[in-house]
Amino acid sequence: MNDQSTRQRDAASFAELFTPKLVTVLREGYGLTHLRADAVAGLTVAIVALPLSMAIAIASGATPAQGLYTAIVGGFLVSLLGGSRFQIGGPAGAFIVLVAVTVAQHGIDGLILATFLSGLMMAAAGFLRMGTFIKFISFPVTVGFTAGIAVIIFASQVKELFGLTLEEEPGALLEKIPLLWEARLSLSPAALSVSAATVCITLGLRRLQPRWTGMLIAVGFAAAATTLLTLPVQTIGSKFGGIPSSLPVPSLPTLSMASIPAVLPAAISFTLLGAIESLLSAVVADGMSGRRHRSNCELVAQGVANIGSSLFGGFCVTGTIARTATNVRASAHGPVAGMLHAVFLLLFMLVAAPLASYIPLAALAGVLAIVAWNMIEKPAIAVLVRSGWGEATVLGATFFLTIFRDLTEAIVVGFALGSVLFIHRMSQTTEVATDSAFVGRDEADTAQPRGKYREEHGANPDVVIYRITGALFFGATASIGSVLDRIQDTHKALIVDFSSVPFLDSTGANMIESLAKKAQKQGVAIWLTGATPDIRNVLEIHGLTRQLIDFAATVDDALEQLRERATSKHEVH
């Protein structure tokens, strides 16, 4: 009987873990007001996604139609089945390098097959609950490979930005740069003018009218100017013959004993990068909205979305940070917004497909140049460089390996270096405090001196005290961050005791910073007690100033200061 009840609890737990957020939102109650909010957000995101999807596809060596298929089919399935309330799926700039290499080596059919296999692997990884392990990738690694991808994306657009004439453009950066320099005399003033105007209009509208969709307006202006002035620049129509006005009939990719092993390395790379990028995007959405995503459910949805995309001739789908952030800022209520974004894209394709033929490639290159610039997390890089040689080494190694070697290799090496750095710092910590074990042991109550239990510490319903024991590093931040987020949602003050934390890395500091910013928005006061000078230094480097957080020597000191604040406020009123 006990075994049966245990199995029933496990089954229920499994079902709850993989229940899409759409079901959760509908259970909460969904009315016309929510639908209206989701429709506005979906339309806003679709307007952003329309030029981006085509630009990313062209830069990847695919057709603009494939970019739209990916955004429509993949984006709909990600929102329908995902574990994130606000995630927007579609083609992402991070995949440009991998997709371009796959197309060059295996052709479009090989790309579609690799996407299909990647979907199977990602769904399997989700069901095996491997999404948790993605959280062990440290903050410097994600910043480094994202910046490296941004540099490669920009380099891939130089030809279109300046209208250069090249017989064949190599993919490797070191081979590409000399050829681009040799082709400098073929610069097209018309193409340069179109790309520069696209960038200026987009950035200008972002500053002057941030609510307007600058990218689409800029691309529309470039298309109109190119057509009316008959500028000598390449367009989607002249290179690709336009885009179809309907979705293709779904079909399985070509499966054979020869083709599957050939594209398997590419499929593995798609899976690894897709998992990292989608869960990173979901974390961004969590930070902006205060909600929590389910990583394994999200991986399953991403897997199904990649399978669906490949059936319609699309390519890699992942969560997209920029479009997901736009969705949250547009006041979306839930996953229906992402589903409607895909529906709006389909309507755009059905109605306005002939107009896409007039879009100049130089304008789309300008869009991608802005995307590449935004992908580089300049403040995060500055913080990591100031954090010390360890973080800077991991960041630099990941960045340069991404540019000059291979993205998968960069992530693996960055992860390994981060782990070695953690072990090194823990060994130093152990030398300084030999009585503090990394993992706590059971011991007698009389083995260590201990103070009396203070019942009042847990009696105040508005204040919660949370003690962290052990190293706060990239492997522990996900679980601790989840707990702290839930705690602060229902209290007016949160005291986090660091007196038993021997070590804090950049990922842990970044998590505390995100927590403090969210708490500030919600009016929750956060206190850190017992932090060593070294840990305080790391936190301050990451932006944890007294405007965001308060420090105290002990928990009692923090409680006393909270009481003094409450008393002074009461006297003022």
Distance CA 492, CA 569 (A): 14
Question: Which residue would you say has higher pLDDT here, 292 or 237?
Answer: 237
- How does residue 456 score in pLDDT terms, banded at 50, 70 and 90? very low
Give the pLDDT band (50/70/90) at residue 453: very low
Residue pair 561/550 in contact by the 8 Å Cβ criterion:
yes
pLDDT value of position 473: 59
pLDDT in tens, 55-67: 889 888 899 999 9
pLDDT for the residue 190? 93
Rounded distance between C-alpha atoms, residue 41 and residue 51, angstroms: 17
Judge whether 115 and 302 are in contact, CB under 8 Å. no
3-state SS assignment for residue 191: helix
What is the Cα–Cα distance from 326 to 371, expressed in whole angstroms?
14
Looking at the chain, the whole-number percentage of residues with pLDDT higher than 90 is 23
What pLDDT was estimated at residue 72?
A: 95
Q: How far is CA 272 from CA 62, 130, 166, 265, 533, in A?
A: 21, 11, 33, 11, 38
- Assign 434 a pLDDT band (cuts: 50, 70, 90): very low
- Which pLDDT score, from 0 to 100, does residue 323 have? 86
What pLDDT does 6 receive?
45
Q: Encoding tokens for residue 540? A: 């301050």
- Mean pLDDT, range 318-347, rounded to an integer: 88
Per the structure block, which two tokens stand in for 83? 């574990």
The least confident of 266-280, 297-311, 445-459 is 445-459
User: What digits encode the pLDDT tens for the residues 68-90?
Assistant: 999 999 999 999 999 988 999 99
pLDDT at 440: 40
Q: 135-144, 163-172, 219-228, 444-453: which has the minimum mean pLDDT?
A: 444-453
pLDDT, tens only, 108-151: 999 999 999 999 999 999 998 887 777 667 778 878 887 888 88
Percent of the chain scoring above 70 in pLDDT: 84
Distance, CA of 234 to CA of 195 (rounded, Å)? 12
Task: Check residue 226 and give its pLDDT.
Answer: 92
- Please give the pLDDT value at position 444: 37
- CB burial readout 152-179, b (16+ within 10 A) else e: bbbbbbbbbbbbbeeeebebeeeebeee
**Residue of 152, 146, 79, 69 lying closest to 111 (CA atoms):** 69
Whether 95 shows a pLDDT value over 50: the answer reads yes
Report how far residue 96's alpha carbon sits from residue 371's, in angstroms, rounded to the nearest whole number. 12
Q: How far does the chain reach from its first CA to its final CA, in angstroms?
A: 61
- Residues of the chain by 3-state class (helix, strand, coil), percent to 5: 70, 5, 25
| Token pair listed for 552 | 């105290």
52 contacts 89 by C-beta, under 8 angstroms: no
Quick one: average pLDDT of 166-192?
A: 83
Name the pTM for this structure.
0.71
Cβ neighbours for 185, distance < 8 A, ≥ 6 positions apart:
none
Give the relative orientation of helices 189-208 and 361-375 as an angle to the nearest 10 degrees. Answer: 50
Mean pLDDT of 265-293: 81
For the chain, the residue count is 573
Structural tokens at position 462:
């508005």
> What is the tens place of the pLDDT at every residue in 522-565?
778 888 888 888 888 888 887 777 777 888 888 888 888 888 77
Eight-state DSSP code of residue 134: H
Helix (H) or strand (E) holding 90, with range, is strand 89-90
The chain-wide mean pLDDT, for the chain, equals 80
| Token pair for 445 | 């109550």
User: How is the beta sheet containing 493-500 ordered, strand by strand?
Assistant: 463-469, 493-500, 525-529, 550-552
Angle between helices 139-162 and 407-432 (to 10 degrees): 150
**Average pLDDT for residues 225-251, to the nearest whole number?**
87
Is the confidence at residue 484, as pLDDT, over 70? no
Residues 6+ apart with CB under 8 A from 54: 64, 67, 68, 236, 243, 356, 359, 364
What is the model's pLDDT at position 290?
Answer: 61
Tokens of 310: 């490949």
Quick one: pLDDT at residue 166? 80
Beta carbons of 46 and 345 less than 8 angstroms apart: yes
Residue with more model confidence, 230 or 408: 230
* Torsion angle, alpha carbons of 451, 456, 458, 464, to 10: -100
Residue 450 has pLDDT above 50, yes or no: no
Tokens describing residue 345 = 């894209």
Closest CA to 408 of 187, 13, 100, 95: 95
Residue carrying structure tokens 């990884």: 125
Q: Which three-class secondary structure state does DSSP give residue 76?
A: helix
Q: Which neighbouring-strand residues pair with 467?
A: 497
Question: Rounded mean pLDDT of 359-365?
Answer: 89
At residue 246 the predicted structure's pLDDT band, cuts being 50, 70 and 90, is: confident
DSSP state of 235: B
pLDDT in tens, 335-354: 999 999 999 999 988 888 88
CATH no., domain 431-436+461-571:
3.30.750.24
Asked which of 155-164, 226-235, 333-342, 401-410 is least confident by mean pLDDT, the reply is 401-410
User: Strand runs (DSSP E) across 394-531, as ranges?
Assistant: 463-469, 493-500, 525-529
Locate the domains of the chain by residue range.
33-423, 431-436+461-571
The pLDDT of residue 459: 45
| Number of H-type helices and E-type strands within the chain | 24, 6
pLDDT of residue 179: 87
Q: Is the pLDDT of residue 286 over 60?
A: yes
The pLDDT value recorded for residue 437 is 42
What is the pLDDT averaged over residues 326-332? 82
